[in-house]
Amino acid sequence: MKHAATLNVNGMAYPVELEGDATLLSAIREDIGLTGTKTGCDDCECGACMVLVDDKPVNSCTYLALQAEGSAITTVEGLANGDDLSAIQSAFLDKGGVQCGYCTPGMLVSAHALLRRNPDPSEEEIRIALSGNLCRCTGYAKIAEAVMAAAKASA
C-alpha cells in the first residue's frame, strides 16, 4: 500500500506516493528524478548513495523514505548554487579528485558535511570522515587534497 508523503529535498517540497519499505534512495532517484545520488552496493557499504538528512550524512539505500518526511534532505544537486559549483565541487575538479565519477556525489556530500562541522580538518580527519565512501579509481590522495583545498578556499 502506498502512502502520500512530502519530501523536502534541496529546499523544495516534493509530494510523493511511497510504499512503506521504499528507500530514500529510490524516492530521490525514481520518484523525484534527481539522479545525482548513485546506487552502488545497495547494502550500506560504499557511500555512493550518501545524502544529508538534517545535515547528517546517511546512506540513503538503507534509510526509509517515510522516515525522512519532515526533515531537510540535501543531495549532491543541492550543494551547487544554480550553475555555480560550491568550493568543494570546484576543488574536486581542480585537484583531480574525480575520475570515473561514480563515487563523487557521495564523496562530495560527506566532504561537505565534514567542512561544515570542521572547517579546517587535518588529512587524517578527512580520511576518517570519508572512510564510509569507497573509491575504486583515485587512491584517495587527490580526494583528501581537494578537501584541504576547499577548506583553504573557504577560510
Q: Which of residues 39-78 bind ligand FES (CB under 6 A)?
A: 39-42, 44-49, 59, 61
Is there a contact between 29 and 42 (Cβ–Cβ < 8 Å)? no
- Cell 583528501, located at residue: 144
- Here the cell at position 69 is 518526511
In the complex, the smallest distance separating the C-beta of residue 8 from ligand FES, rounded to whole angstroms, is 21
E strand or H helix at 73: strand 72-74
- Contact between 35 and ligand FES per CB under 6 A: no
Q: Which of residues 127-146 bind ligand FES (CB under 6 A)?
A: 135-138
**Residue-wise burial string across 51-71, b where 16 or more C-beta atoms lie within 10 A, e elsewhere:** bbbeeebbbbbebbbbebbeb
Judged by CB under 6 A, the residue of 20, 101, 119, 139 near ligand FES is 101
* Closer of 119 and 128 to ligand FES (Cβ): 128
Residues near ligand FES (CB under 6 A) are: 39-42, 44-49, 59, 61, 98-104, 135-138
